[in-house]
Chain A
Amino acid sequence: MASSSEGLGLGFGSEDVDPSIAMTTDVELLKRAWRNEKAAPEILQFQHELVQRSSEQVQLMEETVEDFEQNGADPLTVSVYQMDLDRMQFLLRSYLRIRLQKIVKYMIHISKSEAWSRLSEQEQKFSKRCMDDMEKHLNQSVLSRLPYGYQSILKQSISSEEDDMVPQPHLDTYVFCKSRTPLGALQIADGEDPMDVLADFLYLFHYKSIRSFVESGHVDLF
């Protein structure tokens, strides 16, 4: 039971477990992915395998809880398992939800940039549909009723040289972050002295200055 409870992501007995192992359970990984996604202004790489494993775990936990209920196990045990299941499901759903919100907000920008490849297959489908729906909606209520030359959804008028009507994520917002390893001297802002970034210290940086470290998994957002 002790070994299987770890596998199910229960927090029990985590004191006896090596913290470096505890940090790499799927629950921790999902929590980290969820936090990063929540704090980052742009959409991050979809954690395909992690989501896959997590949904399998949720299924497994559901079966366990059901088994317990049928076999008349101790109600307290059942409710602890149930709570763990609920938390896992919340994390999973919330992770997917935050992504959808970002996709809907920046769908045109995402579809035209490298960010497109960070979406899962289902998200790409969803994004396409949403884009078509929004375009149709704006077309029939505003754009098609404007004079010729002003009907683009991307540009203010035909004389705009680039797409100036597409909402984009603000990459220079500030984010709280912690590095897992010392990053050494880092040029955080233009014209300022490089800063020595240590491991496990909480910093407040421009997102764009640590963007590559978030992508590579060296820095976590909070």
Chain B
Amino acid sequence: MYGRRASQLLKELSTSEPGQLTSFNTDLFDQALKECNAHHLELQSLMRKIQEEELDVQTTRNAEHFGAVIHHLSLIRNKRCLMAYMYNRAVIIQSLRWKLGPVLPQEIQEKLNFSEEEYFKNYSAALESYASELELDLTVDMVPPKDPYIKVRVLDDIGDVLLSDQSPNLACHSIHFLKRTDAEQFISQGLMEELLG
């Protein structure tokens, strides 16, 4: 059936966890692209047929014409699906830059295709150059501040660090009272958790 593969791609996208990437489905993606080119060949041969019969392409309404329309519409539907797949993944990739910073963990990196990896780097660079022009890091302070200090538990051995107002030893499982802006970067990397209540 025409267009099934491309729609499967989108189903995959819509059934995955929101904000999470699945591995790039190269196989299905390439098949859908191949289908596009097959449609185009069919389309061309039907158009040629119309021309060979010396009929006016604009006004003819015969079997060839309707066949060509179906191939054309299937092709643009596939294009929309492929673009939506790529674009929506790109949007997730953008959000990963905000959440995880300029370097992606290995297990996420593996889910990207080559072009997506490049896109992540480019987006990251664009964001960094914007932030440096403003001299303001936009990726901190993602939630409205309630208190300048928060209580955190360290989840990994981070060791001695120099923070803006103290230099604590962040040993695994220790609990600290840190400036929210200092703690945020560790929390986003999964090295700390905020203790609420």
Contact = CB atoms under 8 A, between A and B. Distances in A.
A118 B72 CA distance: 39
Interface of B is mostly: helix
The listed residue with most B CB atoms (<10 A of its CB), out of A137, A145, A159, is A137
A55 B134 CA distance: 9
A147 B37 contact: yes
B151 to A, nearest CB: 15
B66 interface: no
Contacts of A133: 119, 122-123, 126
Given A94-B141, A130-B126, A157-B75, A145 B33 contact: yes
Contacts, number: 109
Contacts of A83: 145, 147-148
Counting contact residues on chain B (CB < 8 A from A), the size range is 35 or more
B79 A137 contact: no
Contact of B129 (A129, A136, A138): A129
B86 A96 contact: no
A142 B83 contact: yes
Given A104-B94, A140-B115, A141-B113, A150 B126 contact: no
Contacts of A156: 76, 79-80
A138 B94 CA distance: 14
B118 A96 contact: no
A86 B181 contact: yes
A137 B138 contact: no
A90 interface: yes
Contact of A122 (B87, B123, B130, B148): B130
A123 B133 CA distance: 10
Interface residues of A, number: 38
Interface of A is mostly: helix
A134 B90 contact: yes
A146 B36 contact: yes
B123 A130 contact: yes
A111 interface: no
B159 interface: no
A92 B136 contact: yes
B153 interface: no
A89 interface: yes
A93 B119 contact: no
B115 A137 contact: yes
Nearest to A126: B130
Contacts of B90: 134, 137-138
Interface string B140-182: 1100110111000000000000000100000000000000110
A99 B83 CA distance: 24
B113 A150 contact: no
A140 B127 CA distance: 22
Nearest to A92: B136
A55 B136 contact: yes
A87 interface: yes
A82 B148 contact: yes
A93 B115 contact: no
Interface of A: 55, 69, 79, 82-83, 86-87, 89-90, 92-94, 96-97, 100, 104, 122-123, 125-126, 129-130, 133-134, 136-138, 140-142, 145-147, 150, 156-157, 159, 165
Given A87-B145, A93-B138, 20 more contacts: A86-B145, A89-B141, A90-B145, A92-B136, A94-B144, A100-B130, A126-B130, A136-B118, A137-B86, A137-B118, A137-B119, A141-B115, A141-B116, A142-B79, A146-B79, A150-B79, A157-B75, A157-B76, A165-B80, A165-B83
Query: 9 tightest CB-CB pairs across the interface, nearest first?
Result: A147-B40, A133-B122, A129-B126, A137-B119, A86-B145, A126-B130, A141-B115, A156-B76, A82-B148
20 contacts: A55-B136, A79-B148, A86-B181, A122-B133, A126-B126, A130-B126, A136-B119, A136-B122, A137-B116, A137-B122, A138-B83, A141-B115, A145-B36, A146-B36, A150-B40, A157-B72, A157-B75, A157-B76, A165-B80, A165-B83
